[in-house]
Amino acid sequence: MKNINMVIDIGNTHIVMGFYSNTEILYSWRLNTDKAKTEDEYFSIIKQLTDDRKLILSQINKVAISSVVPELTRIFFHLTKKYLKCDVEIVNAYSELGLKFPVEDPGFIGADLIVNAFAAMSKYNANCIICDFGTATTIQLVGKNGYFFGSIIAPGVITSAKNLFDSTALLSNIQLKKPEHLLGTTTTNALLSGIITGNSFMLDGFIKAIKKEYKYLCPIKTIATGGIAELICKDSKEIDIIDKNLTLGGLNLICCK
């Protein structure tokens, strides 16, 4: 009997896949995004990963996909139809999720923002600021009634750091970690302060400003998600919850609708 949902979040840098039984996440994997791979090549990777965990692909009941890479949206849609032979939902601003938008045509809003807004609304039943640390850092405000107030898109932490390293001949890549002090006494510590602490300050500054502008919505719950969320938000004064699986969990909720 089919009883597993497969969820896929396709970003510009990584593809994150999760497998759920009801609301329980069984496994998740993170792959590098590669637009050159075919549906057959991606399926081969999925098959190997699931075989290693003894997941039976014929038990997949539904697939939900969130994607900001149109070429891979098509590849994973065809992969699902060809190999998994189950229902698939491509999530976008036109999906019937109970969200409301301040613009007539919300099609420009990224699928990741849509899924996170729906996930926060469904899971926390509160006015929420959601901060997602991916290729870009996004900050959005969604009301508990599903109203999407808008978003901020800033350069991603890892993307910015990589660009700095690539363009500065005397610097080599360093491991991102929390700096010991605000002021660095070595080049590495100075960079870590600028990258990690600087993004934490930026985040808190935006959250404070949003709360001030939309004070009539308070209390507002603040949620952080994404692979690097814990590193950036560990010392944040404004983040209430770090929910690493917010996006995958939202996609699973969409499968269960």
Q: What are the catalytic residues?
A: 112
Beta carbons within 8 Å of 8's beta carbon, 6+ residues apart? 15, 16, 17, 63, 64, 65, 66, 67, 76, 251
Asked if residue 151 lies in contact with residue 140, where contact means CB atoms within 8 angstroms, the answer is yes
Distance, CA of 44 to CA of 83 (rounded, Å): 10
Distance of CA 131 to the CA centre of its chain: 9
